[in-house]
């Protein structure tokens, strides 16, 4: 666990030294979400109806902006090869990098979502469901994205290929995450959607580090 915590601390420190990369994804999320109310107009019912989808799509795209830096920097300076040769299981180190990625890319989106949701006339209970769905969904995005980032590591035009690989896998998280808020607003209850989202997260947390480790070994050969 000391190696796991050390890799998280290291990646967080590196992220703080490259604040522009973190802030770029964050401002992208804010700008995309804020443009829709300006373009659609002040119609509360319409804004409330489209809010979950807009917030989730913006969070999804913002997460994708930061996936390239998950392994690319370590691959460029040789750190990744050292991690592979380390006596610590590579899967544990990969899990630490995914956690660090979520802390710098996913958690800020979760914290900003309630503030941006006010623009769409969402009430407090709907904002609570939105935050809960994003708390379950954004780690899922990081876990799935790590597999794609590992598969496209060192590939020319990897950013486009990464999008093609990851976007179809993000669809269930998008459906259940946005659907939870929509079901709550409609009075149907969000428990089912959140349960499915939690199940997907548990499944990804178990398999994604292993799959990412295998993809990294293939990419480094």
Rounded average pLDDT over 75-93:
81
Distance of alpha carbon 40 from alpha carbon 204, whole angstroms: 36
26: left (phi over 0), alpha (psi -120 to 50) or beta: alpha
User: What confidence tier does 143 reach under pLDDT thresholds 50, 70, 90?
Assistant: very high
In Å, the largest CA–CA distance within the chain is: 59
Digit-coded pLDDT (tens) for 29-69? 999 888 888 888 777 788 888 888 899 999 998 988 888 87
pLDDT for the residue numbered 98? 92
What is the per-residue pLDDT across 175-200, written as a single tens digit (0 to 9) for each? 999 889 888 888 888 888 999 999 99
Locate all alpha helices (DSSP H) within the chain, ordered by sequence.
Answer: 2-17, 19-40, 44-65, 72-77, 79-85, 90-101, 107-117, 124-151, 158-186, 191-220
Q: What is the pTM of this model?
A: 0.88
Top pLDDT among 135 and 120 is at: 135
pLDDT band at 158 (very low <50, low <70, confident <90, very high): low
What per-residue string of b and e applies to 175-195 under the rule 16 or more CB within 10 Å gives b? ebbbbbbbbbbeeeebeebbe
**Is the per-residue pLDDT at 157 higher than 70?**
no
pLDDT > 80? residue 144? yes
């Amino acid at each position: 666990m000391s190696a796991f915590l050390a890799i998280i601390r290291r990646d967080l420190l590196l992220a703080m030294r490259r604040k522009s990369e973190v802030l770029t994804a964050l401002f992208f999320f804010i700008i995309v979400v804020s443009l829709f109310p300006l373009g659609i107009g002040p119609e509360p019912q319409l804004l409330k109806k489209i809010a979950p989808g807009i917030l989730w799509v913006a969070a999804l795209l913002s997460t994708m902006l930061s996936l390239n830096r998950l392994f690319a920097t370590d691959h460029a300076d040789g750190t990744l090869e050292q991690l592979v040769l380390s006596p610590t299981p590579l899967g544990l180190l990969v899990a630490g990098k995914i956690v660090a990625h979520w802390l710098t890319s996913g958690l800020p989106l979760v914290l900003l979502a309630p503030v941006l949701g006010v623009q769409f006339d969402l009430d407090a209970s709907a904002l609570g469901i939105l935050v809960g769905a994003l708390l379950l969904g954004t780690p899922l995005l990081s876990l799935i994205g790590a597999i794609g980032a590992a598969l496209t590591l060192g590939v020319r035009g990897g950013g486009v290929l990464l999008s093609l690989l990851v976007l179809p896998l993000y669809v269930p998280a998008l459906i259940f995450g946005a659907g939870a808020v929509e079901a709550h607003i409609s009075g149907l209850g969000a428990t089912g959607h959140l349960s499915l989202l939690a199940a997907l997260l548990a499944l990804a947390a178990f398999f994604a580090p292993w799959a990412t480790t295998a993809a990294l070994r293939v990419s480094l050969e």
